Amino acid sequence: MKKSIRTRFTLGMIFLFLIILVLSVFSDYLLNKLSNKTSAILKENYVSIVYAREMSEGIMNINQELTSCFLTKRNSDSLKINSDLQYINTSLQLEIKNITEPGEEKLVSGIETGFTEYRDSVLKFILSPLSAYRILYLENKSGNLNQQLLLLSQMNGKALEMKTDDAKDSSKSALTQMTILATLCFLMGMSFTFSFASYFNQRFFQLYNGIKEIVSSNYNQKLFFEGKDEFYEISVLFNEMAERLKENKQKMSVTLQEDMVKGISSNDVEELQKMLFRLKVMEEQAAALISRFKQK
């Protein structure tokens, strides 16, 4: 199958583009994989720790408010307490939707039950005078609830640490894979570029030397290019031109020798001019052929 120089060049550019494409796709895949792992850590475990902290803060605020009211003999701020209860409930509902670790569902269920009992007791106590017994009762309820929230935070903290280590290992593995792939692609690209350049440099060098020999009147110079591309066609035309120049030179030598004996007539001079004109035309054709090849 005949492959033109333009076709070879196009295929070469496509090959280099494919190498770049493979690197881009593979690196994008690894980056997305690491990004998904990092996002999962933040979504699954870190937010659970935040929810546990928010619930503990809400319980602490309520206990402080009730204790302060008992000590100062004033009525509790029901609006503030209801706001804190709603804040705790919101965090609890978000945590229920974010259960990811083994045993976390059972633990959250216990927290939900404990919070319901704690909330009912708080709402009941703010409607009646506070006493030391009631304050201690709420402290006991909140202590158990805070203990469960601490376990929830520790569970997700350990999971967060394990997943972070796994993400680090994945990043190291991805870096190693990218290094190997990049090295292979680099070697393939360099090998292709070297062979591609050598192909053209060798032929240009032969063509350049052939033209120099023709200019030096060495009409025995021949070009031999393998393949069926434009270089092969140029070599055929070049060899035909060299052969014709050689024949014309021989004819001119014979004609000049005869003219030295017989004298040169006007017809001979005219014939010689025609021959020189044909030589000039052949040189122009060779120059045009080389120019057309360079444009390609």
98-135 pLDDT tens trace: 888 888 889 999 989 999 988 888 888 877 776 777 78
Look at residue 83 and tell me whether its pLDDT is greater than 80.
yes
Residues 65-83, mean pLDDT to the nearest whole number: 82
- For residue 223, is it left (φ>0), alpha (ψ between -120 and 50) or beta? beta
Higher pLDDT, 4 or 204: 204
Q: Please report the pLDDT score of residue 199 as a whole number.
A: 72
pLDDT of residue 279: 66
pLDDT band for 71, please (50, 70, 90 cuts).
Answer: confident
> Over 70: is that where the pLDDT of 215 sits?
no
What mean pLDDT value characterizes the chain?
Answer: 77
pLDDT at 1: 47
Q: 34: exposed, middle or buried (C-beta count within 10 Å: 0-12, 13-18, 19+)?
A: middle
pLDDT class of 159 with cuts at 50, 70, 90: confident
Asked whether residue 295 carries a pLDDT value surpassing 70, the answer given is: no
Full DSSP string of the chain: ----HHHHHHHHHHHHHHHHHHHHHHHHHHHHHHHHHHHHHIIIIIHHHHHHHHHHHHHHHHHHHHHHHHHHT----HHHHHHHHHHHHHHHHHHHTT--STTHHHHHHHHHHHHHHHHHHHHHHTTS---HHHHHHHHHHHHHHHHHHHHHHHHHHHHHHHHHHHHHHHHHHHHHHHHHHHHHHHHHHHHHHHHHHHHHHHHHHHHHHHHHHHHTT-TT------SSSHHHHHHHHHHHHHHHHHHHHHHHHHHHHHHHHH---HHHHHHHHHHHHHHHHHHHHHHHHHHHHHH-
Q: Over range 157-184, report the average pLDDT.
A: 78
Q: Sign of torsion, CA 270 272 274 276?
A: negative
pLDDT of 68 > 80? The answer is yes
Q: pLDDT tens digits, residue range 226-236? A: 766 666 677 77
Report the pLDDT averaged over residues 213-230.
Answer: 68
